[in-house]
Amino acid sequence: MTDNQTMSNGLFISFEGIDGAGKSTHIEGLTETFQQQGRRVTLTREPGGTPLAETLRGLVLNQAMDPLTEALLIFAARRDHLQQVIEPALARGDVVLCDRFTDATFAYQGGGRGFDLQVLQQLEQWVQLQDGKVRQPDLTLWFALDPAIAAQRLAGARVPDRFESQPLAFFEQVHAGYAARAEQAPHRFITIDASQTRHQVWQQLTRALIQRGKLSIVVPIPKAFQSPAP
Ligand code: TYD
């Protein structure tokens, strides 16, 4: 891909991993790096990213509900987010950096909660249909981490939500859910070893993006890294 094509095409990158895998600083670092490369960045998250979807997020993260209700609310939030934010941003050529997307639904609701994967697939096809194709991220950076290490990192960090308060076995299933999705879409998934230091993780992901022609400039130590390592 030439620089010109890179500049004019929208690019959709999602960030995935179990709670405690350490995505946040790297998402901020990549925002800075893409901006330095002259790209406009839309930074967003799921569930959420629009006023309606943020309202649904509050319900999903804090209120008890049955698994189908949970899945429907998450996909309803995703529909609004796609229509209001993601599709318009991609159409104007932005880099869309999205903290979690549908792989999280397969990992958390499918893997963690054991919810029917075929129903999730059906919802994915309805909700993400765009110009006759199912919208997926161009790339997914999966911060893969042993759930026991993630639990240690999270311990005492903040008041846990409905997912963060789940036992280790839940996160082992979530991890397996991500691994299954990565296996099904190897062209899209970049697996990052999130057990390494923050700087090593940064190197892994920027190298992967350079290799795929998505980054030309790399900020060696982004501003986001000035805060203490979590
Ligand atoms: P998270 O993205 O980790 O945000 P924060 O850093 O504020 O905790 O929290 C979102 C939670 O929602 C996380 O525990 C995973 C969960 N989740 C699902 O269960 N299904 C989904 O489809 C998505 C997008 C998130």
Domain count across the chain: 1
Strands (E) across the chain are located at 11-16, 41-45, 95-99, 129-130, 133-134, 139-144, 189-193
Q: Rounded to an integer, what distance in angstroms lies between the CA atom of residue 54 and that of residue 72?
A: 15
Question: Which residues, 6+ apart, have CB-to-CB distance to 132 below 8 Å?
Answer: none
Asked if residue 163 has its Cβ within 6 Å of ligand 1, the reply is: yes
Is 40 part of any domain?
yes
| Cα–Cα dist 58/40, whole Å | 28
Q: How far apart are CA 183 and CA 187, in angstroms?
A: 9
Task: Tell me if 114 is assigned to some domain.
Answer: yes
176-228 per-position pLDDT tens digit: 999 999 999 999 999 999 999 999 999 999 999 999 999 987 777 788 887 76
Distance 4 CA to ligand 1 centre (A): 35
**Is 65 within the bounds of a domain?**
yes
108 lines ligand 1 (CB under 6 A): yes
Can you give the residue range of the structural domain that contains 66? Answer: 4-222
**Cross-strand bridge partners of residue 134:** 129
Give the pLDDT confidence of 9-62 residue by residue, as tens digits.
Answer: 999 999 999 998 999 999 999 999 999 999 999 999 999 999 999 999 999 999
19 lines ligand 1 (CB under 6 A): yes
Tell whether 15 is covered by a domain. Answer: yes
Indicate which residue's Cα is closest to atom 3 of ligand 1: 19
CATH number of the domain that residue 80 is part of: 3.40.50.300
Dist. CA 199–CA 215, nearest whole Å: 17
For helices 198-211 and 24-36, give the axis angle rounded to 10 degrees: 50
Q: Are 175 and 147 in contact (CB under 8 A)?
A: yes
On whether the CB atoms of residues 95 and 41 are closer than 8 A, the answer is: yes
C-beta of 115 in contact with ligand 1 (< 6 A): no
Least Cα distance to 13 among 181, 184, 136, 105 occurs for 136
For ligand 1, the distance from its centroid to the CA atom of residue 105, given in whole angstroms, is: 9
Is there a domain that residue 229 lies in? no
pLDDT tens profile 148-185: 999 988 887 778 889 888 999 999 999 999 999 999 99
Ligand 1 geometric centre to CA of 227 (Å): 23
Query: Can you tell me the distance from the alpha carbon of 105 to that of 108, in angstroms, rounded to the nearest whole number?
Result: 5
Instruction: Tell me how far apart the alpha carbons of residues 115 and 108 are, in angstroms, rounded to a whole number.
Output: 9
Pocket flag, ligand 1, residue 44 (CB < 6 Å): no
